[in-house]
A and B are shown apart, each in its own frame.
Chain A
Amino acid sequence: MWPWGCAVPGLPAAGFGRHDSYQDLGVLVSPDETNAGAAWSEGEGRAFLESVHPPDWKNPHPAGTYDFVILGAGPAGLLAARGAAILGRKVALIERNLLGGNCLNVGCVPSKALIRTSRLYARMRAAQEVGVPRPEKIQIDVAAGMQRIRRLQARLARTDSATGLREHGVDVYFGAARFAGPTTVTVAGAALRFKKALIATGARPMAPEIPGLIEAGYWTNENVFALAAAPRRLLVIGGGPLGCELAQAFCRLGSQVIIVQNEPMFLPGEERDAAQILSDSLARDGLEIHLNTQVVAVRGQGAQKLVELASDDNRTSVEVDEILTGIGRAPNVEELNLDAARVAFDTTTGIRVNDFLQTTNARIYAAGDVCLAHKFTHMADATARIVLHNALLRGRKRLSALIVPWCTYTDPEIAHVGLYVRDAREQGIPVKTFTILMHDVDRAVTDGDEEGFLKIHVKEGTDEILGATVVAPHAGEMINELCLAMTAGIGLEELGHVIHAYPTEAEAIKMAADAYYRMRLRTARA
């Protein structure tokens, strides 16, 4: 039986069996064999493995000192490895499990593919709203959706395959990396000496400390994509991005979903109106929402799980079939023997880095989830670029100079870049917000996707964009224009001079710029 519960005859398991480590492989293992195995066909499984961890892979023999050794082949590690090779450096990349890291194997790729499938089911149910008769019977096939995920993973894995990396001049090592000193790391019995190193070992789901939860069993993003069917009743712990995305997706795949959030709103820290719209959207989908509520205990009851909830002085219990947690991620630091490398770290916040992403050992850098508060694939990418410049090109690029967007892929999506109003006010910056409602954007109206808004925060008395939030079906696409404007120092008024294709959702940005211009004219006349 393969780790993901699917027999793949003929593929050797040597060195690649069931992993119990911090990283990727456990993710493909279903904790509940009865609901597993929708995943891989033999051909796809073989092709996937050939890309991300070839079963017959032979680690190279280190010769001399590497210019650059990278621990972890997630988005940061892969980008850094390719970049270093292009720069002509002698580079080694060490991966304990699968190339691609969380993003490809258990994060963005599978979750966005599942969200796409679930969105379509929601659209089918709401077909009448756009003048299409609702299908008489909507047959939900979660296994088919999961198989699609596997196909996509196998396809995307080819981009950064082990053999491809080798052909590009990267020495790829599979095995657990441990520092043996300030300039040496060991892997699979080999000692690699380095001039510079990058730690990019990522993060893993945090386990909530709830009595009885471990005994009763629970899912995380690391194993939920191995499900063959949506559980009948699912309780989701945590109303952050991951919890909200998956709660909505499984609800749309037919589960009765209860989401429990120990805060007054979802997505803490996000624009409260965005959280309000999301809350309404989740309620419309049929989720049972418990805000200001804690899960205080879990008890297994045969195949069911009895979950105790507490909200102020009210205690209730609910019976569910599965529990999914999405409360945050912990950096993968414990097994690296970082003390030997004189690299300071914290098990909660990760590796300590300065603004140049240097650790307390000046030769060693860190990038991505292992050291960042913003645990996004694009931040892994951006920080790996900084490290390439600073470690290999004597650069002085700073982490603090980055303009960072992010997006929660619920329906509607919620995307943000830059400062929130509260951040600006706390910094003593007077701020004004230009808001466009999506119900005033023609394309949103014609698409029947009117829930949401665009808010652009500018410094009072100027058109300098401080930040922006977008709530829209494709907010993640729209935020990029605003990120570009902020990065390039383009003001809101100037955005009004940019012709936006009509009709598009992004026209909202031009409408906000127009509102700014009208305000300026009114002020000038006054």
Chain B
Amino acid sequence: MNDAAESDEALLARFQCAAFDYFLSHCNPANGLVADTSRPGSPSSIAVVGLALSCYAVAVERGWMTRAAAAARTLATLRFFWTSEQSEAGDATGYKGFYYHFLDMHSGRRAWQSELSLIDSTFLLAGVLNASVYFSADSGDEGEIRALAAALYGRVDWQWAQGDAPTVRQGWKPDSGYFHYGWEGYSEATLLYVLGLASPTLPLSPESYGAWTATYQWENIYDCEFLYAGPLFIHQFSHAWIDFAGIRDDFMREKGSDYFVNSRRATYVQREFARRNPHAFRGYSEQCWGISANDGPGLKTLAVGDTERRFYGYAARGVPYGPDDGTLAPCAALASLPFAPEIVVPALRTLCERYPRLTQASRLPGGFNPTLPGAGPEGWVSEGYFGLDQGFIVLMIENHRSRLIWQLMRRCPYVAVGLRRAGFTGGWLRPP
């Protein structure tokens, strides 16, 4: 494929379709669970399942799946979660309406002694609610999808997730209880608060959102003012489902901005950091950037040329304070498409030109590190693919192309209620 001759639309469609293919290739159709990664033996990640549920709507609209097939797979997923064990048992699937981060692909039970993850459960529930809006037909399958979605969302005990703390806990384990730390600083948890506040049964306390946003930091970095968070994914995950353009909470009213504009600025700060490239990593440039939470070469210190370099495994890399080990997250860069297409598309084209081996399958790996010598100019490359990366690529490209997910979620009553309870006003939240 001559990438330069390919239109932007065709280029994006190619990468979006290839990313969606992950969900067809790594799903257990019996229970709807989707593997965390393409690596052999990978368990399912509930966040990836949530992404899959949203991606099916995209696939139907794009003609990659029939509506019936998408509904069937969605229904299998929702039936599994509804009937799976919810208890304090160490091998249950979930507890209090939340789910363990990783589940066995076949049995659906807790894997890897993982935590009951509030944020990953949020992404799962976002997918569930997204499906309930999309599958709006009167057919039996689609009606059951809506009923199960309401039941799954309604049984979540958000109040339990808050415990006695002013903000939501990060997780829980059956043997040790709540994690003793919560969310501090701006993060991907906006969606968690929105869904938690909107619950018709056991909502978060109204004050919890304000307690969390009290930890925000508005920074002027490289002459760009924004609500700071280091890893790029933080500026994307909640945005995959919610259109934040034009709506503002107290914090953004104070700053005269909104979270969409904020993500755009964060994207530009990422690019500026790569342009400055303070640690002199190979490959970083104005056209090649993207520093986020992603796979890495593994924890080791190596001499590369005259410099001793320390590398990390899977880690939340961030800009500008680090950690930064020269590992780039191409999927995160692409997922910023709706915020700054004028710099994201050129970045994708640069990837294709500079590192053809990375992009030949039109599917991007979880990370690569040109500083660490490998088989080609791309250096070290993450093995296989991560479902989280592929899911956000599908959704963010779609939001850029058609705004489909954003439009669907605007129709989800819980999203609007949650946003209003968090103090958001204006824009599309205005009464018609």
What residues make up the interface of A, taking CB atoms closer than 8 Å to B? 126, 128-129, 263-264, 272-273, 276-277, 280, 283-284, 292, 312-313, 421-422, 425-426, 430-435, 437, 439-440, 450, 453, 455, 460, 515-516, 518-519
Q: Is the pair B176, A264 in contact by a Cβ cutoff of 8 Å? A: no
In this complex, what residue of B is CB-closest to A458?
B220
Q: Is the pair A433, B217 in contact by a Cβ cutoff of 8 Å? A: yes
Q: Is the pair B181, A437 in contact by a Cβ cutoff of 8 Å? A: no
- Interfacial chain A residues near B318, Cβ < 8 Å: 276
- Rounded to whole angstroms, the CA-CA distance of A169 and B46 in the bound complex is 75
Q: How far is the CB of B212 from chain A (nearest CB, A)?
A: 11
Q: How far is the CB of B272 from chain A (nearest CB, A)?
A: 11
- Interfacial chain B residues near A280, Cβ < 8 Å: 322-323
- Leading 3 A-B pairs by shortest Cβ distance: A439-B278, A313-B175, A273-B321
Query: From DSSP, what is the main secondary structure of chain B's interface residues?
Result: loop
- Rounded to whole angstroms, the CA-CA distance of A272 and B231 in the bound complex is 14
0 or 1 for each of B210-252: is its CB under 8 Å from A? (1 = yes): 0000111111110101001010000000000000000000000
Q: Is the pair A312, B179 in contact by a Cβ cutoff of 8 Å? A: yes
- Rounded to whole angstroms, the CA-CA distance of A422 and B214 in the bound complex is 6
Q: Is the pair B218, A437 in contact by a Cβ cutoff of 8 Å? A: no
In this complex, what residue of B is CB-closest to A313?
B175
- Interfacial chain B residues near A434, Cβ < 8 Å: 219-220
Q: List 5 A-B contacts (CB under 8 A).
A: A284-B310, A292-B180, A312-B175, A312-B176, A430-B254
- Interfacial chain A residues near B360, Cβ < 8 Å: none
In this complex, what residue of B is CB-closest to A271?
B217
- Interfacial chain A residues near B320, Cβ < 8 Å: 435, 437, 439, 453
Q: Is the pair A276, B322 in contact by a Cβ cutoff of 8 Å? A: yes
Q: Is the pair A440, B276 in contact by a Cβ cutoff of 8 Å? A: yes
Q: Is the pair B221, A272 in contact by a Cβ cutoff of 8 Å? A: no
- Interfacial chain A residues near B139, Cβ < 8 Å: none
- Tell whether A313 pairs with B225 under 8 Å between CB atoms, given A276-B321, A276-B323: no
In this complex, what residue of B is CB-closest to A263?
B181
Q: How far is the CB of A258 from chain B (nearest CB, A)?
A: 15
What residues make up the interface of B, taking CB atoms closer than 8 Å to A? 113, 115, 173-176, 179-181, 184-185, 214-221, 223, 225, 228, 230, 254, 276, 278-279, 301, 306-308, 310, 318, 320-323
- Interfacial chain B residues near A435, Cβ < 8 Å: 219-221, 320
Q: Is the pair B185, A272 in contact by a Cβ cutoff of 8 Å? A: yes
Q: Is the pair B184, A272 in contact by a Cβ cutoff of 8 Å? A: yes
Q: Is the pair A277, B181 in contact by a Cβ cutoff of 8 Å? A: no
Q: How far is the CB of B229 from chain A (nearest CB, A)?
A: 10
Q: How far is the CB of A275 from chain B (nearest CB, A)?
A: 10
Q: How far is the CB of A279 from chain B (nearest CB, A)?
A: 8
- Rounded to whole angstroms, the CA-CA distance of A312 and B225 in the bound complex is 38
- Rounded to whole angstroms, the CA-CA distance of A134 and B242 in the bound complex is 54
- Rounded to whole angstroms, the CA-CA distance of A520 and B135 in the bound complex is 50
Which single member of A283, A292, A422, A516 contacts B310 (CB below 8 Å)?
A283
- Interfacial chain A residues near B218, Cβ < 8 Å: 431-433
Q: Is the pair A277, B276 in contact by a Cβ cutoff of 8 Å? A: no
Q: Is the pair A426, B278 in contact by a Cβ cutoff of 8 Å? A: no
- Rounded to whole angstroms, the CA-CA distance of A409 and B233 in the bound complex is 33
Q: Is the pair B220, A277 in contact by a Cβ cutoff of 8 Å? A: no
Q: Is the pair A453, B217 in contact by a Cβ cutoff of 8 Å? A: no
- Interfacial chain A residues near B230, Cβ < 8 Å: 273, 276
In this complex, what residue of B is CB-closest to A438?
B278
- Rounded to whole angstroms, the CA-CA distance of A425 and B318 in the bound complex is 24
- Interfacial chain B residues near A273, Cβ < 8 Å: 230, 321
Q: Is the pair B181, A292 in contact by a Cβ cutoff of 8 Å? A: yes
Other than the given A263-B181, A453-B321, 17 more pairs (CB < 8 A) read A272-B185, A277-B322, A280-B323, A284-B301, A313-B113, A313-B173, A313-B176, A425-B215, A425-B216, A426-B214, A430-B254, A433-B228, A435-B221, A437-B320, A439-B279, A440-B276, A515-B223
